[in-house]
A and B are shown apart, each in its own frame.
Chain A
Amino acid sequence: MVVLKLGIILVLILSFFWLFVFGPFYDHIATQLVVLIGVIGWNMLRFSLRETISLLKFCFPFVFTLFLFGLIFHFTRLLGRQDWLEDTFIKCIVFPSSLVFLKVLLSYITYLDILNLPISMKKRVDLITIKSAFSKGEKILRRFSWYLNTYSGLESGSNIKYRLKKYACLMIALYLYLYEEIENSNRLLRNRYQHLHEANK
């Protein structure tokens, strides 16, 4: 049963990417907008409005940077292409919609599903660790952002400079956190499993 569930999730992910990211509907702006609205709505129903806003805020600097580069490429007529603006606009929709889609769909995979997978315990532990670290990472972002707002040292310079520095700090802090969290959780899980295994013997 769990293999079927995970299989369906995998097929849905592959279909989404085949249809909207690399495939026939990639350059249909209207379809992409509908997909974006659809996945945002799905995320709101699955989680909450607050969580959705925070996720979109997280995407914003990436989308903004993408747009900025698209604009520069358009005005410099890079590689002689005329369609930079249109292509950038599509990418600015596809990026958040695929991210939100992946996030919502993967949230249907539970720890019990992972435990029931017909794979070795070592691989199960790895998957559990990754799931746990990323769900913690998502929650911790808001707190990191809150702390960064209290550091006046970041505020020197223009507003754009401040925001760029803040997001750089946020990314580094998140990376450090995930790195340590994955290592610690993995060690803890292996240790517990080993003791449980020995106790059962």
Chain B
Amino acid sequence: MQIKKGTYRLEKRGLNFNLSDELNFNNSANCFYLRGGNGFGKTSFLEKIIIPALKENKVPYLYIGQDIRTQLYTLRSLLAVQGIKVFDHDEVELLKLWINHSRSATVFILDEFDKYFPDHGFIFDWSNAFIRTYIMVTHLGYGQSEAVAAKYRTCNVKFDLIDFDGHIRNISIKKE
């Protein structure tokens, strides 16, 4: 599955992305780090461009959003409906259960997960047996994402603001 280079407009969110390089999620053992300032549309790009493309191509994926505290309610209810006991599980145990029950996924998307769990390496330990591609939005420095670097080829994708006319922000997205 790939996101072709070109222009992607999200008018409701006031964003206009100019993707200079194709993002190819077909190769295995890749980890894409999406970096850029606040308000540059990283989450919107994930939720409105990447995730719909994964759905359209029927690529099974896991997504942990930036508002993980909100998402945890849905994870708890999802596991409960699937007949898994979750009553006395804390959030980390809940995530582990969910990941263990989602072994058909090949892509794992994490939006600023490291903000909530600075020791986020555990997420790779639990999932690297079946995940081929990680896509991570991060604000961490380049050298600080070592948890995955040893096993996966790293690809940094940079979001930069080109201009803002008061309504639309033009954002360039480039591989580094």
Contact = CB atoms under 8 A, between A and B. Distances in A.
The answer to whether A and B come from one shared complex is yes
Interface of A: 140, 143-144, 146-148, 150-154, 165, 168-174, 176-177
Given A140-B70, A144-B70, A150-B51, A173 B77 contact: yes
Interface of B: 47, 51, 60-61, 63, 65, 67, 70-71, 73-74, 76-78, 80-82, 101-102, 104-105
A173 B102 contact: no
B132 to A, nearest CB: 15
Contacts of A143: 67, 70
Nearest to A174: B73
A144 B74 contact: yes
Contact of A148 (B65, B78, B80, B104): B78
A176 B60 CA distance: 27
Contacts of A147: 63, 65, 70-71, 74
Contacts of B104: 152
A87 B81 CA distance: 33
A51 to B, nearest CB: 15
Contact of A169 (B63, B65, B74): B74
A152 B105 contact: yes
Contact of B73 (A146, A151, A177): A177
Given A143-B67, A144-B70, A147-B65, A153 B78 contact: yes
Nearest to A150: B63
Contacts of B67: 143
27 contacts: A140-B70, A143-B70, A144-B74, A147-B65, A147-B74, A148-B74, A150-B61, A150-B63, A151-B74, A152-B60, A152-B61, A152-B104, A154-B81, A168-B77, A169-B77, A169-B78, A169-B81, A170-B77, A171-B77, A172-B76, A173-B74, A173-B76, A173-B77, A174-B73, A176-B73, A176-B76, A177-B73
